[in-house]
Amino acid sequence: MVGTGFYVPERVVTNDELSRYMDTSDAWIRERSGIEERRWASEGTTCAGMARRASEMALTEAGLRPGAVDAILLATLSPDHAFPGTSAFLQRELGLTGIPALDVRAQCTGFVYGLSVADAWVRVGQYRTVLLVGVEIQSTGLDVSTRGRDMSVLFGDGAGAVVLQATEDPDRGVLSTHLHAEGQNAEILWCEFESSASHPRISREALDEGRHYPSMVGKEVFRHAVARMSEAVEEALGANGLAASDIDLLIPHQANLRISQMVQRRLGLTEGRVFNNIQRYGNTTAATIPIALAEAVREGRLERGDLLCLAAFGSGFTWGSALIRW
């Protein structure tokens, strides 16, 4: 990882502001999620535009121009359009042409899935420099009312990017990635409509019932997230002959501060070895890990040779982990 970057919209939406739209309060939201505020995009903002801002920061940190990028991977569950993929629009925003641009639809685990693909591409020598981005605009798809408060208070908008490059240093880079999914639980955290399985793709009845908004069974998601992320971290450590005590920094997917804290306790890590920023940004799904990584780098939380662990869990269910020697 030779460069990191992030971008979040200027608009700050506090818990107190949300309490004007629905039956909730700052105390209620903080107690259940740890979130204090989030960023919501303004009219006309696109995922591709935010991804470009984050990518430019990452490329600048890497000392590279956009033309050095051999391939683009973009993780999102909120594409700018049904098709083509948002990665194609990002390619255009960066002034690039001809290189592959691939969207990754693994929801909150999208960045870790994308990292695994990028790592494989680089290892086999297919591409030397890969731009990996996680980006979301969630705010335009939320039911900002009491009916939808369980979901709408959690999510924010933003983008994070990483530039991955081949290295000959055996003591640096991605050590391993570990991916999983369990489709039996797909409807526990999902957005039912629009659906190509429905004719038409959404009916007036479905709209009236709010079935085009995301929904989840919160207790089940919480339980699975804690268990699966903990297991994924332990799997990565075991595959590399390492222990939790070797981790210098864990960056978990920022779904809920309580989930992160329970994973931290299960692994026996001190608070200083886990990075959380959900308090400021909420859950930006595929963008949470790269945003947190970029902030951690800028706060001096990673030094050369540190062992970095990433862990994520999301809709699908999908989950995974990665170990990286910084």
Cis omega (within 30 of 0) on the bond before 317? yes
Strand-pair category, 307-314 with 37-39: unpaired
Amino acid (one-letter) located at 301: R
CA 276/CA 273 separation, integer angstroms: 10
CB of 41 within 8 A of CB of 277? Answer: no
CA angle 151, 177, 258 (to 5 degrees): 30
Phi first, then psi, for residue 86 (nearest 5°) are -65, -25
Number of DSSP helices (H) and strands (E) in the chain, helices first: 11, 13
Helices 257-267/218-239 angle, 10° precision: 40
Amino acid (one-letter) located at 107: Q
CA 201/CA 230 separation, integer angstroms: 38
CA 218/CA 197 separation, integer angstroms: 26
CA angle 152, 7, 291 (to 5 degrees): 75
> DSSP string spanning 12-47?
EEEHHHHTTTSS--HHHHHHHH---EEE-PPTT--H
Among all residues, which ones are annotated catalytic?
108, 253, 283
**Within 10 A of 252 (CB to CB), how many other CB atoms are there?**
31
CB of 66 within 8 A of CB of 9? Answer: no
Cis omega (within 30 of 0) on the bond before 214? no
Strand-pair category, 12-14 with 37-39: antiparallel
